[in-house]
Amino acid sequence: MKNVKSGIIWLVVALVGAGAFAMLALSRGEHVNAVWLVVASVACYSIAYRFYSLFIAKKVFELDDRRLTPAERHNDGLDYVPTNKWVLFGHHFAAIAGAGPLVGPILAAQMGFLPGTIWILVGVMMAGAVQDFLVLFISTRRDGRSLGEMAKQELGAFAGVITMLGALGVMIIILSALALVVVKALADSPWGCLPSPPPFLSRCLWAFTCALSAPAKLPRSR
């Protein structure tokens, strides 16, 4: 009975997502309600999280909540610190978002709402999220090592150096492309370079709060 209810729920989610995609496909002109984009995205991500990510977690990695993480095994208060999962989620979300909210709408406007939405959703579900998931858990099982360190451990010193240089090159290219997008966006609006008061004040408040709540003495790096 439980499986039947679960199947019905996910069938409804799939139908709602299909209906949202139908609205995007059948809408003519530039006036498309953003609600349909949100509904389609939430439906797709929910289904992918429930089935595809569960398959990777259970069948590919065989994840076990009872296994200790590197932060719990090597808790030194410096490089390895057990952290609340929601804090980690916030850090990771902020790290991977980047200029996506800026570039994504521009690409969608150029390609069309439906092709842009499908491109982003499929890319995230089948490539982006999976890649991040795999790298994070492979690193977790290698005591939190970076991608270059893992390549050095598995393939040798030369391959590790090549991997780290390749990663550095990719980061330089990505930062250059994102900087170019920002420059073009601000080319005709130099006042946009000035910080917006609410985000600026919130960052100052956050830094001040962290400084007050930080311990008096931090362990020195070994």
**Torsion, Cα of 23, 28, 33, 34 (10° steps):** 80
**pLDDT digits 0-9 by tens, 151-204:** 888 888 888 889 889 888 988 887 787 777 767 766 666 665 666 666 667 767
- pLDDT tens profile 105-115: 666 667 777 78
What mean pLDDT is predicted for residues 141-146?
86
Q: Give dist(CA 153, CA 208) in Å, integer.
A: 40
The alpha carbon of residue 36 and the mean position of all alpha carbons in its chain are separated, in whole angstroms, by: 22
Using alpha carbons, list the distances in angstroms from residue 22 to 10, 18, 81, 94, 129. Answer: 18, 6, 47, 31, 25
Q: Is the pLDDT at 94 greater than 50, yes or no?
A: yes
- Amino acid identity of 209? T
Per-domain boundaries in the chain? 1-62, 64-144, 147-184
Distance CA 38, CA 42 (A): 6
Check pLDDT > 50 for residue 218: no
Q: What is the pLDDT of residues 190-201, one digit of tens each?
A: 665 666 666 667
